[in-house]
Amino acid sequence: MAFTAPKESYAGKVYSVTIGTGDKAATIGGENVLSFHSFEGETPNRPLVAFEIQDVPPTDWPENVRKVFDGVSDDPVKWAKYCQDELKAKAIALRLVGTHPDRENRSAEDAAKTVREVLAAISVPLIILGSNHAEKDSSVLIAAAEAAKDKNCIIGKAQEANYKTIAAAAMANNHKLIAMSELDINLSKQLNILITQMGFDKERIITDPMCSALGYGLEYTYSVMERIRLAALTQNDQTMQQPLLADVGMYVWKVKESQAPESDLPQWGAAEERGILWEAETATALLIAGAELLIMRHPRAAAAVESVIEELV
């Protein structure tokens, strides 16, 4: 029995989405095969790793990732420049967590000012994220989207409760949009449909099916991503052909494994390496499942993921 390689070709294709402007603009997606399956189709773009920064100092980040940014994280502009210039970040994700009513409760105007200052300081693409407070995000992200007009950013996250205002703001100011739903392929599809029914171009959406950390529901995100991608490719479902986002850092750096000191749990080994690997491994698994855009915190985790991407392309 002679071997013939059972290669597959698919009807569908993931949309190519370009973010940023000028020579630092980046493109993700565009493949017509499963992740890293370049042996049977086109994989024109590498996944993109964006470094996460915040509008307020990361007092809520665990020590092992917070300390890396000591001296720059007190100011989002310094922090962004450090990521771009020293860590060679190819994109920055600015999370306006300080606008959350339970946090510093910064105003939409303050958030817009931060966005303007950060944009003036960097040339790589910017992802602008709210604080995940559906109501507050509506006003904050409208102001942020206006402040970033024509800079071709990604604005997020639009959810079922607030997609109308956020999508309208992204549309009016020429941005891309993150559509986030909670670990359900049908909800994800439905949100994409609702957003496109407003007249928003389906090829300007990034899908976030909700991330989860290794050991804390990762298998759900993994399988939802894999199913979305299979629907995009095998069924040519145009409502699910958006690139996928894995918002990794935020989920990883709150689980016990990423922060418990070795003195408390000697059987878990060195805490710093453990946290870094926890983030890098969550990211790698989701890359395999289909993610094209990752938001990460620890520079060593991001660098390790870049190394494995280098081996995968």
Partner 1 sequence: MALSGVEIFKLLPKTNCKKCGQPTCLAFAMKLAQRQATLDLCPDVSEEAKQKLGEASAPPVRPITLGSGDKAVKMGEETVLFRHDKKFVNPCVFALEVKDTLSEADIAAFCNQVVDSEMDRVGQKLRVNAIMISNESGDAAKLEAAAKTVAAKAAGVPVIINTTNAQAAETAVKLFADKKPLLFGANASNLEAMAAVAKSNKASLGISAASLEELSELTEKAKGFGVEDLVLDSGARKAKDMIEHNTLVRRAAIKKNFKPLGFPVISFAQRGDSLLEALVASVCIAKYSSIVVLSSIEKWKNLALFTLRQNIYTDPQVPMQVEQKIYNIGDPKADAPLFVTTNFSLTYFIVSGEIENSKVSCRLAVMDSEGLSVLTAWAAGKFTATKIAAFIQESGIDKEMATKELIIPGYVAILSGSIEEKLPGWKITVGPREANAIPAFLKSRA
Query: By the criterion CB under 8 A, which residues form the site for partner 1?
Result: 1-3, 5-8, 36-39, 60, 101-102, 132, 212, 214-220, 222-223, 226-227, 230, 254-255, 257, 267-271, 273-274, 276-278, 280-281, 284-285, 288-289, 300, 304-305, 307-308, 311-313
**Residue number, 196 or 221, with CB nearest to partner 1:** 221
Phi-psi group of 199: left, alpha or beta (phi > 0 → left; psi -120 to 50 → alpha; rest → beta): left
Buried/exposed code over 195-209 (b: 16+ C-beta within 10 A; e: otherwise): bbeeebebebbbbbb
**Residue number, 82 or 216, with CB nearest to partner 1:** 216
**Residue number, 3 or 199, with CB nearest to partner 1:** 3
**Residue number, 3 or 9, with CB nearest to partner 1:** 3
CB of 28 to partner 1, least distance (A): 18
CB of 310 to partner 1, least distance (A): 9
Cα 46 off chain centre by: 14
CB of 201 to partner 1, least distance (A): 30
CB of 301 to partner 1, least distance (A): 8
Cα 225 off chain centre by: 13
**Residue number, 39 or 197, with CB nearest to partner 1:** 39
**Residue number, 48 or 252, with CB nearest to partner 1:** 252
CB of 309 to partner 1, least distance (A): 9
**Residue number, 82 or 278, with CB nearest to partner 1:** 278
CB of 45 to partner 1, least distance (A): 15
CB of 278 to partner 1, least distance (A): 6
